[in-house]
Structures are given as structure tokens and as C-alpha cells.
Structure 1
Amino acid sequence: MITRMFMVWFALVLGGLAAHATDKGGAAGSVLSLDDCRAIWNLAAGRSDLGRDQAQPYVPDFAAVDVNGDGKITNAEFRAGCETGLVHKARRAD
């Protein structure tokens, strides 16, 4: 449990540093605003953790966001992913 908390904390710290180094857009690889991150979480997961299928439209690299490797993305992991540019707004169908 402590290791997981440290990993999430570490990801949040790195996310804060990345936020200063990138723009605040919605494109893949850019840092999402907290409001955009919350909106995407509520749309994709609501009150539960995200599985791989639920995360797919928003998280191209599931393993990078699932920092503890348990096969699901928690809200804390998702927020850290938003802050590091690993989560993006769903792409429109062409």
C-alpha cells in the first residue's frame, strides 16, 4: 500500500513538473486541464476504476498510466496521467 501511494505521489510530482514544460491543450501528449481530466473521468469511469476497454479512447498507453500494474486505472492514476500528458480527449471518428 505504501509503495502504491509513493508511486502515485511520484507520478503527481512528475506531472506537476511536466505541466510547466508543456502546453495546456487537448491533443495527445499535451497536459489536460483539471476540469477536462475530471470530465473525461466522469464520462469513462464515474465512480469505479477504469479497465483497459473503458480507458482505450483516452489512454493510448494503458500500462504507463496503470503504475501499479493491477490491470485497472484508479482516479489518482488517471489524474497523474492527465498531468503528464498520458491521457487525452477522445479522438473524433474520421
Structure 2
Amino acid sequence: MSSPLPVIAAAVAALGFGVAYAESTTAPALTEDECRAIWNTAAGRAELSADGAKPYIDNFESVDTNRDRKVSNAEFRAGCKAGLVHKLHRVE
């Protein structure tokens, strides 16, 4: 009997969840102070665009949870807690 995993993975990918999950990387969660400092540097009072997020977020779609192509302060803070935001751009 074959594994149902390929079928499940295809269904998840078709719904748009697979790409963000497969490509997301997590780091240790940032403290609230670290997160606030990065937000103030990256966005300040505005929402954060994909280009503005590049130094701090490896997978923009994983943090942009409402899919409006910008990261709000609330989404950014949630990304910090989830380990999806980091201090410096990582080179892999």
C-alpha cells in the first residue's frame, strides 16, 4: 500500500499552504524589545513591504498572514514570536 503523504502534500500545496511551510525557516523567537527595535528600523509607523522585509524575513508569505502583500505591526510581532523574523539577513 502506498503512503498517503504525496496526496496530502499535493492537496495542501493546492490550497496555498505548502509553499510557505516548505520554504519557511525558523530561528529562536526574538524578545519583544528586539522585535520592536527591528520593526522601528524596518518599517517605523508604516506597513512593511516585501522588499523592506528581506533583511529580516526569509519567507515573506509566512508572516503576511492575510496575504495583502504587506506586513502589519501585528503580523510582524506574531512572526517574531514564531521565529520567522531574525535580526540579520542570513546567508545560506
TM-score surpassing 0.5? yes
Deviations 1:65-89 (A, max 9, x none): 0000000000000000000000000
Give the equivalent residue in structure 2 for 1:89.
Answer: 87
C-alpha contact (below 8 Å) 2:54/2:89 kept by paired residues? no
Give the equivalent residue in structure 2 for 1:66.
Answer: 64
SS at the partner of 1:49? coil
Change (3 A) 1:64 1:35: same
C-alpha contact (below 8 Å) 2:50/2:60 kept by paired residues? yes
Deviations 1:13-61 (A, max 9, x none): xxxxxxxxxxxxxxx6110000000000000000000000000000001
Moved over 3 A (4+): none
Long gaps (5+) in structure 1? 1-27
Q: Which has the larger radius of gyration?
A: 2
- TM-score after normalising by structure 1: 0.67
Amino acid at match of 1:58: Y
Aligned residues: 66
Instruction: Report percent identity of matched pairs.
Output: 56
Change (3 A) 1:71 1:30: same
Long gaps (5+) in structure 2? 1-25
SS at the partner of 1:46? coil
CA distance in 2, matches of 1:86, 1:92: 12
Give the equivalent residue in structure 2 for 1:76.
Answer: 74
Q: 1:92, CA displacement in angstroms?
A: 7.4
